[in-house]
Amino acid sequence: MEKYTLRSSGMTLPTASADRVGSRSSIHRHWLIAQLWAVLLGAGFITHQYGLLPSVCDLHFAVPHPPSQPVETYPEAPVCPWIPPLIPSNAALLTALYTELGSAAFFNYTALVHSGAVQIPTFTQDEMGPVGEDPAWKKFTKLHEYFEWTYPLVHHTLKRELVNTYGLLYTWQGSDLDLKPILLTGHQATVPVDEETRDQWVYPPFSGHFDGERVWGRGAIDDKATITSTFVALESLIAHGFTPKRTILLAFGFDEEAGGRRGAAHVASFLLTRYGSSSLAFVLDEGTGYLPELGAMYAMPSTAEKGYYDVRLTVQTRGGHSALPPPHTSIGILAALVAAIEENPAPSRLTRTNPLYETLQCIAEHSPGLEEDVRGLIKQSRTSDKALEGVAQWLRSGGLATEANPLAPNEVLMRTTQAVDLFHGGVKANQLPQLAWAVVNHRIHIESSMAEVEDHLIEVLTPHVERFNLSLSAFDRPIIADNAGTTGSLELVDPYGTARDPLMGTPSRGPVWELLSGTIQSVFARTDGFPHSQSTPDAVSEVVRRIHVAPIPAGGSTDAYHYQQLSANIHRYAHFRPEGMDGGHGLNEWMSISNMLGAVEFVMTLVLNADEAEL
């Protein structure tokens, strides 16, 4: 295995070997932290000079967690019950974990290991060749090697298996085989960086720059933050001597950003063969975190997931010399078709079976800053369809969404969205384009379907196809036949084979929901929601020790979709707060280590609670 070098420092970190990790004691964890700190001390001047890390004198030393305080409880609300904190019973272990979480060394250790993961590019494209044939997949091997030497206790204690070459499956075998396993999942892949925007990044996108509080780079949030927080949590649990009764599975796919067909889908099939249908207590994947809403704090695990449909529109005309142009070239026709799609979005609708509706009921119960007429409308909508439409109209007009709070529940969760993400046409300035194409990405309303997307597009585009005298083939169906009078054609297809219907069905009641909610409440109440933060408390500070857990649909697609046969309880939740991160899928992606430590504590607590729960 190769050694890894801190960028620009020339310093190498040792690889893991079996004799280093033969014991589960905390000595080995402290050894690893000591070695990492030795590298920082030795490389401090050089890394500071090149901007990767601050000098040792500039490193951020975090303020330890405040001591645990009693949590105020109050009677359950009739619609949105508050679930009290669920605290693991092993007080000695918790004290040791909390002490470690609050140390400056642990803060900087977490920053360093996350920075290293971000420094390894693992982006994927929509169109990649098969695994084993396309060399672009080989980049994941380097990330696997990095994980192996960075987390020696995990790799000594858990069984690691490679699925379809680059999918990672870890098994921490529990002592009680009668208990259903749990699955914690995430993905190794990131989206690419637009090369034309590199000069707009504050720090190079694969530098993993640590500024004392934040790690910068592509994947710092999505989704290496999930992987880092999971590994760091388990590494610490092992170091402190924890051994589970309930089997714990980790699964990290490698092509989630392209639909997960090569990664998570293969892992799911592998697990289905090994454990059988409905064999897991729950699946937890990346997802929405927690945020303030009008004077109260909410965590929003996703219990449903929108569908996904990329549709490519291809216009083909005869082409020719640009000195003799027709009234509309293929590019002009395609532009008109795209404009028609954007001017006719799918209608929005709010139903009482949409998890969004349950979140709105929680906000009406617990947010003191909600306008009273809106609060009344939301409560009336429980029995009045007219009031329900009034709530929908309120969301359409802005509702809870603000520029400062873009992740708030909003009207996009009531409809199928569409975004024109790719557009191509033409090969030369004086040559009429024969071919022009665009790809429209759809996120399908949880109570809609791929079939409805197809029908909507055909309905919107048919009048324009007739106006331009084109033939139309849509999803392998002839809609308008080609004949001697047509001047070209329009074809609608799924170009990547990644389309899928929405997924619903995870309950927001019962033992798994109570486990998840109680764990969120426990972590939030102990840390005031943002461990290690030195920022000014926000407007909800007076209720910061109380958090409400409400379900919501996931606006995007996740690898969790592929595990639906393994469990009825599929949740998408990451214990992150939006002001502690920015730039996901865009420019200047960064993750606050203060934010990440909350996620580390969440994973630790969830694992301990799941080990004691009856699921």
Q: What is the CATH number of the domain that holds 334?
A: 3.30.70.360
Least confident span in 261-265, 402-406, 454-458, 590-594:
402-406
Which residues have a Cβ under 8 Å from the Cβ of 194 and sit 6 or more positions away?
none
Same domain, 361 and 465: no
Phi, psi of 250 (to 5 degrees): -120, 135
Same domain, 238 and 330: no
Same domain, 410 and 422: no
**Between 187 and 406, the higher pLDDT residue:** 187
* Measured CA distances, 160 to 29, 172, 181, 360, 428 (Å): 20, 9, 16, 42, 52
The whole-number pLDDT of residue 271 equals 98
Residue range 26-47, pLDDT digits in tens: 444 444 444 554 444 343 322 3
Closest CA to 185 of 153, 146, 227: 227
366 is in an annotated binding site: no
**Element (H or E) spanning 572, and its range?**
strand 570-573
Q: Tell me if 424 is assigned to some domain.
A: yes
The whole-number pLDDT of residue 27 equals 41
Q: Tell me if 517 is assigned to some domain.
A: no
257 is in an annotated binding site: yes
User: Can you read off the two tokens belonging to residue 79?
Assistant: 């619609």
| Whole-structure pTM value | 0.84
Same domain, 268 and 125: yes
Task: Specify whether the CB–CB gap between 349 and 415 falls below 8 A.
Answer: yes
Residue range 313-323, pLDDT digits in tens: 999 999 999 99
Q: Which of 472, 493, 514 is at the close of a domain?
A: 493
Q: How confident is the model at residue 407 (pLDDT cuts 50, 70, 90)?
A: low
Write out the DSSP string of 128-186.
Answer: ---TTT-GGGGHHHHHHHHHHHH-HHHHHHSEEEEETTTEEEEEE--S-TTSPPEEEEE
Residue 22 has pLDDT above 60, yes or no: no
Q: Tell me if 114 is assigned to some domain.
A: yes
The whole-number pLDDT of residue 402 equals 62
Q: Which of 395, 414, 433 is at the close of a domain?
A: 414
Same domain, 246 and 263: yes
Q: Tell me if 293 is assigned to some domain.
A: no
Task: Specify whether the CB–CB gap between 451 and 499 falls below 8 A.
Answer: no
The whole-number pLDDT of residue 406 equals 57
Closest CA to 615 of 21, 258, 294, 182: 182
Same domain, 386 and 433: no
Q: Tell me if 46 is assigned to some domain.
A: yes
Q: 128 — alpha (psi -120 to 50), left (phi > 0) or beta?
A: beta
Same domain, 263 and 327: no
The whole-number pLDDT of residue 405 equals 61
542 is in an annotated binding site: no
Q: Tell me if 506 is assigned to some domain.
A: no
Same domain, 280 and 372: no
358 is in an annotated binding site: no
Residue range 51-92, pLDDT digits in tens: 333 332 333 323 333 333 333 333 333 578 888 899 999 999
> b/e per residue, 31-67, with b = 16+ CB within 10 A?
ebbeebbebbeebbebbbeeebbbebeebbebebbee
Q: Tell me if 519 is assigned to some domain.
A: no
**Domain range holding 390?**
355-414
Task: Read off the pLDDT of each residue in 585-593 and give the average, rounded to a whole number.
Answer: 95
Could you give the number of structural domains in the chain?
A: 3
Same domain, 485 and 563: no
Q: Tell me if 543 is assigned to some domain.
A: no
Same domain, 408 and 419: no
Phi, psi of 437 (to 5 degrees): -145, 155
Q: Can you give the CATH number for the domain in which 197 is found?
A: 3.40.630.10
Same domain, 18 and 150: yes
Same domain, 388 and 336: no
585 is in an annotated binding site: yes
Q: What percentage of the chain exceeds 90 in pLDDT?
A: 76
Q: Which of 368, 386, 414 is at the close of a domain?
A: 414
Rounded distance, CA 375 to CA 368, Å?
Answer: 10
